[in-house]
Amino acid sequence: MFIRKPIDLDHSTARPGARKGAVLGSSPTVGHESRAPLVSVILPTYNRAALIGSAIRSVLAQTFADLELWVIDDGSTDDTDAVVHAIADERLRYHRLDRNRGQAAARNEGLRRARGEYLAFQDSDDRWAPGKLERSLQAMRTALPGIGAVYCDMTRVWRDGRVTYHRSPTLTRGRWIDPETGWYQVYLLGIQAVLIRRRCLDAVGYFDEELRHFEDMELFMRLSRAYDLVHISEPLVDYVQTSGVSEDMTGKWRARWRILRRHGPAIVRESPAFLVRESRQILRLRFGQ
């Protein structure tokens, strides 16, 4: 098999709306790229050169191989580009944004370039089990028509070395709030755990680029309102705890406020108490009460 370094597609092969980027590698494989893979995987990253290699290799080592992996570099200032380009695989593609724009913008850039019928997402510090995509596709194909996505459980690897089982939430189509937890039903559904049907994501819209936190949760809120999501009760992802955007408390309350303003009128019909409680909590976080 002809192996080359990661490439950045030009307008002839990128999805409509993608920006033109430099093509790395030689042209004899352009004909091969004209056939779209079944699955597109999108991996946004920012200054994770020490971690991203493991995340990339866990995607490329999948037992299901008909995929492309888009690494979207969100303006890194470390050696991320060198790490990515050192991995020789014709399915690996790299695009660097001109500045740090946030995970939502980076994922949307990947979506504009993705060509697959199904979409998956990886984070730069996590790992997939080898059969993650194959098991997800099996669940998608055996589910009833109209399924928007499938998702699995995860193994959580904490900073202190502890390993715990992370069970993803059980979702009900059309519901906003989980009556048991009293919060959004899609909370704690990891983006790394999900395989989405492309046409369903196109229908509900991409990530909200104004959100620097909870952008995946907000997307899942819209997706689960319109489609059923199937739960695979198997831990097919290692979710590795590292430092990053999750520690930005100011950004979190701002994101929660934006989500509440966007979806509050619909949520209030289901749970007026949640709307009041969440508004008060956001105000306490903002003003330190």
pLDDT of residue 23: 30
- Looking at residue 91, what is its pLDDT? 98
The H-assigned helical ranges of the chain are 30-33, 52-60, 80-85, 103-113, 132-142, 198-204, 215-226, 249-270, 272-287
Taking the domains of the chain in order of start, what are their residue ranges?
27-247
Residues 6+ positions from 35 with CB-CB distance below 8 Å: none
pLDDT at 13: 31
Q: Which residues pair with 196 in a beta bridge?
A: 119, 149
The whole-number pLDDT of residue 246 equals 53
pLDDT for residue 7: 37
User: Residues in the chain with pLDDT < 50?
Assistant: 1-32
Rounded Cα gap, residues 24 and 9, in angstroms = 9
- The per-residue pLDDT for 248 is 81
Radius of gyration of the chain (CA): 19
Which pLDDT does position 96 carry in this prediction? 97
Per-residue confidence (pLDDT) for residue 33, from 0 to 100: 55
Topology classification of domain 27-247: Spore Coat Polysaccharide Biosynthesis Protein SpsA; Chain A (3.90.550)
